[in-house]
Chain A
């Protein structure tokens, strides 16, 4: 579903992605973790073209990024992206946020989109918030609207960029619960997160990155209990200490 082969990227002189090779199968859930600045966000931002790669191959849903034949706008409709800072449209209600892309990209009639949008918002536990503006919602509620906004496009892949790091601790689980639900329905997911509980529960693989390179990959149980490299051990000892 997502194939990185020898992918490199620089920000100026900074080598942010170093020879990345990674294969994500359909319906697979991959958690990406690593210290800040290790390139994990950049990695998943490349997948829907929010960042461009310098060299190597990146194939998403059978389409090679950077090819002339690849229509990025079309590809993006198949790839949902959840941001750390939610990025809901502040001038639109929860329901309007959710139905905007289905109406203008999928060309679904408004009435139909609204039905689907209400259903999706109810599914993430926000049946009473259809007409609320983002400013009237808590962080956890905003992030759940953002996830519903992606799901309404019926994407094939969902990418999550630190979806819970901007949240107060008591709101993290409500967002993670929604994400677990999405994973259990068989969505192909790449999730940048340090939520090890989430990784243990739904991830098939954990990818550990440091300084722009993939250092270690493995099933969550193995990675958490028996990390193979010094760098992953050092990282885990920092995030699991508390």
Chain B
């Protein structure tokens, strides 16, 4: 019985690989886009004008306060009503990027706020422009605070990408659903699906740990 199931599972490895590739593509694309947008919003959130800060704050709260599944449905089913046709992949990327950007914005803003004002004053006093103050002085120090939660957020993002299976994208989770219909052993099938996610996430977790260690070693606090 179990032998048959295993054979049948091995037979569906091309499908599993496609699912894994879809999960990685979704995560990677939205991770890169979300990081870029999140950094931009995070800087604006601490340095921009009051209206922009309010608008970003409200949007972040809205996204953080609603389930991701609902956000995906809204994007996938409501936008076409407004005349914007989206395929499932684009909708998934938009939803994931938006989610990532909102969380990363908060992480980056918290990192920037953690940099002592004395650092900004020193940079200001030496005549550095706003860009160089940010790039050379504030962001490197903000990153030390932001990096561990940032990589943690990447791991969450990869796992959240499983929700896009709800709009029909054949990612790793959906492959699990498809396979389990042929191989009626949910425990086995979803253990393998779980292992697939873990294989992608675990190196990231290790990376976060190493980065944290390296940065702590290199960038000590100023001692008074």
A→B interface (CB under 8 Å): 48, 50, 73-74, 76-77, 79-81, 83, 85-91, 100-101, 104-105, 133-136, 139, 142, 146, 149-150, 153, 166
Contacts and interface: CB of A to CB of B under 8 A. Distances in A.
Interface in B78-106: none
Contact of B141 (A48, A90, A133): A90
Interface residues of B, number: 25
Given A48-B125, A91-B140, 16 more contacts: A76-B125, A77-B126, A79-B125, A81-B125, A85-B118, A85-B224, A86-B224, A87-B222, A89-B119, A100-B126, A100-B128, A105-B128, A133-B219, A133-B220, A135-B222, A142-B223
B224 A139 contact: yes
Interface of B: 116, 118-119, 121-129, 132, 136-137, 140-141, 144, 218-224
A11 B4 CA distance: 80
Contacts of A134: 220, 222-223
Given A50-B121, A89-B122, A104-B136, A77 B127 contact: yes
B126 A87 contact: no
Contacts of A88: 122, 222
Nearest to B130: A73
A81 B140 CA distance: 22
Nearest to A159: B125
Contacts of B137: 89, 100
A136 B132 CA distance: 25
Nearest to A45: B121
A191 to B, nearest CB: 15
B119 A73 contact: no
A135 B136 CA distance: 18
Given A90-B141, A91-B140, A166-B224, A104 B219 contact: no
A105 B122 CA distance: 14
Contacts of A135: 220-223
A87 B122 contact: yes
B127 A101 contact: yes
A83 B116 CA distance: 13
A91 B144 contact: yes
A91 B218 contact: yes
A114 B141 CA distance: 23
17 contacts: A83-B122, A85-B224, A87-B119, A88-B122, A88-B222, A89-B119, A90-B219, A91-B140, A91-B141, A91-B219, A101-B128, A105-B127, A105-B128, A139-B224, A149-B126, A153-B126, A153-B127
Contacts of A50: 121, 124-125
Report which residue of B122, B136, B141, B221 has the largest number of chain A beta carbons within 10 angstroms of its beta carbon: B122
Nearest to A71: B127
Contacts of A136: 220
Nearest to B120: A87
A142 B127 CA distance: 20
A89 B221 CA distance: 9
A76 B222 contact: no
A91 B122 CA distance: 14
